Amino acid sequence: MEKLGEVVVKPRLPEEELCREIGDCEVLIVRSSTRVTRRVIEAGKKLKMIARAGVGIDNIDVKAAEERGIKVVYAPEASKTAVAELVLGLMLCWARKIPQAYRELKEGRWEKEKFVGTELKGKTLGVVGVGRIGGEVALKALAFGMRVLGYDLVRREEMEREGVKYVDLPTLLRESDFVTLHVPLTPQTERMIGERELSLMKPTAVLVNTSRGRIVDERALLKALREGRIAGACLDVFEEEPTKNLELLSLPQVIPTPHLGASTIESQRNISLILAEKIRELKEEGKG
């Protein structure tokens, strides 16, 4: 095995400490929770690369990095299966009431009649953002016999050949039994799903968010759930993480997970290998 350099592991550093620690580093590897601000980037005097272990570079000031000629790299393909499988898992949990049945039986109650579920087959899934992960979710949902609607600015022809019907966002929200979000967090997508969008959804519909918490207006979501304007939500991501929104978490119609999208052994291995390769390439460029 080739050694690429010295590795220093310091998880969960606040900005102040990260600015102090970064001085000698040539490569900074972060996950989603560390914010790589302009201050951090400017403190990294030797920095050549910022590597995001995963997908979604909304925690990195890419403009500040580019201004200083620092490469920003990530591992785009590594987690698509992991996230897509979690989405299907969450929808099945919702449809078959698995978390509720699990809890009741662990507490000694065999109450079968309370847990009559529904099937995914024949239901409509709306995929907002039909990119790598959204596309994978769409294919898996088609395999379950779901009707799949897509909303995106790209990949229309390719995904329509697979059986996804592209529609505008209001149509997708009106017609779907499940709406799953897979757009990245950008100024255009922040709070893309607010009160108006939630009001278009069916009262029986479920919102699934495994993308980024801030794509949804959490207050509007809480209100819509409380008032029964939508039936439920499966949430892997939150406006603030770890979330302190106990009002939202405690609703029985919410199935939450603590940002587990990419947390599989396979995904983490893929991420490590992809980033190690990019760092090796950087080292090779340095020699040239």
Supply φ then ψ for residue 283, to 5 degrees.
Answer: -65, -40
Binding interface with ligand NAD (CB under 6 A): 54-56, 76, 79, 83, 129-134, 151-155, 182-185, 188-189, 210-212, 236-237, 259, 261-262
Longest CA–CA span in the chain (Å) reads: 69
Minimum distance from residue 249 beta carbon to ligand NAD (Å): 17
Tell me how far CA of residue 286 lies from CA of 64, 279, 283, in angstroms.
22, 11, 5
CB nearer to ligand NAD: give 233 or 237.
237
Minimum distance from residue 85 beta carbon to ligand NAD (Å): 12
CB nearer to ligand NAD: give 4 or 249.
249
Among all residues, whose Cβ is closest to ligand NAD?
131
CB nearer to ligand NAD: give 123 or 182.
182
Tokens of 63: 């403009």
**8 A C-beta contact, residue 34 and residue 54:** no
Tokens of 261: 């999208």
Residues 6 or more apart in contact with residue 86 via CB below 8 angstroms: 210, 236, 257, 260, 261
Minimum distance from residue 257 beta carbon to ligand NAD (Å): 9
Q: Report which of 239, 182, 242 is spatially closest to residue 207, judged by C-alpha positions.
A: 182
**8 A C-beta contact, residue 32 and residue 240:** no
Residues with active-site annotation:
212, 241, 259
CB nearer to ligand NAD: give 56 or 232.
56
Minimum distance from residue 102 beta carbon to ligand NAD (Å): 22
